[in-house]
Amino acid sequence: MTSSKRSPDFLKAAGDLFMKRGFRLLVYVSIAGILFPSARLILLISVLVALAVFFYREREKYGKSYLTYIGGFVIFLIVGYFAALVDVHRVNELRFPLSTIGDGIERVADGTYTGVGQGFRGPIEVEVKVHNHRIVSIKTLEYQDLISVLDNEIGEFKRTVLETGKLVRPAQPGLFRGATQTLTGYFDAVQAALNKGVADYPVYGFFSRVFLGAFIGKAPDRVTLNALAILFAAFMVFEYTLQSMLVPGTGRSINCYNCATCVGACPIKEAEGIQFPMGLVLLTRLGDYDRVLELSKYCVGCGRCAAKCPIGNSGPLVISAAFQASRARHRNAESSGGSERLS
Ligand code: SF4
Ligand code: SF4
């Protein structure tokens, strides 16, 4: 009995939550964080800055406790980051005498190992086979950089390594853009693979592993940043389309192409710096229904804009939608026992 009563309440609460733009943005950011772990720190900082600005502006309403939580989390991130750096430094010091470069190949047990390095455009992964303490083969498993670098500079590096059976530092490839980073990434990948064959090779502590894995992973590369920019644009288009679909009567605002025909027809034309009624349509698209209601007092309801707009927008249409959205907001606020914003 209790569960059947709770179920509709839960669905209503989930529906109300989904109506809030802040919550939806949090969902998008979480999806991006899952898709691109290396961008998590950037995303986290963006969210924290946005939250800090929001709670600072609304401090009269929410008090200062949320700002304190956000500040505490930022301090945790900074302290955690430096603690992880200290651990990384400590482990690197321990690893130094166990280097697998040159004659260090003697420390590597026979076997096949994989390793990852950071190239110019993305990660490079290799598989290295060691037999009788000699490198006998190197296979490239993942590579996103220029094929010409793979064929020339990396090809030469591999030939040298296989001839000597040891990992040797590659010669600098000259001024060719990005080739140095690609070659360094390839070298790092081979070294990371060989390190796995060294007994008792020092590893980072639990906290550093969890912290770096959760918040940083590795430095975001060019592919990640480009993908994030595309994803951000897609999310914004989706968000504004979704919002106009979720709020009754605002669907057409998304189609406004700023032709200003309605402004030409309107006897008001401008109020408080907003072009009438085109500005109301754009505010509706952004979800700022409170501002639309504030400006609605200037509309005389003559209907001229409705007759002129090629896609059927009008001042009265968006004002009526904003009014209904505002009423829904107040109903939600009353049922939850406090005041709330719709978006
Ligand atoms: S209905 Fe309102 S917004 Fe439309 S033309 Fe008349 S005064 Fe302007
Ligand atoms: S006439 Fe319609 S499409 Fe043109 S600016 Fe006004 S609301 Fe937008």
Pocket-testing residue among 253, 261, 263, 266, ligand 1, by greatest number of atoms within 8 A of Cβ: 266
Q: How far is the CA of 198 from the centre of ligand 2 (A)?
A: 69
| Residues in Cβ contact with 98 at an 8 Å cutoff, skipping those fewer than 6 apart | 104, 107, 195, 198, 201, 202
Give the pLDDT mean for 159-182: 81
Ligand 1 atom 8: residue of nearest CA: 266
Ligand 1 atom 5: residue of nearest CA: 266
The pLDDT value recorded for residue 7 is: 56
Binning pLDDT at 50, 70 and 90, where does residue 59 land?
confident
Q: Cα dihedral angle (314, 320, 324, 330), rounded to 10 degrees?
A: 110
The pLDDT value recorded for residue 217 is: 67
Binning pLDDT at 50, 70 and 90, where does residue 1 land?
very low
User: Quick one: which ligand is closest to 305's CA?
Assistant: 1
Q: How far is the CA of 297 from the centre of ligand 2 (A)?
A: 20
Q: Which residue has the higher pLDDT, 74 or 5?
A: 74
Question: pTM (2 decimals)?
Answer: 0.49
Distance (Å, whole) CA 237 – CA 233: 6
The pLDDT value recorded for residue 141 is: 95
Tokens linked to 2:
């209790």
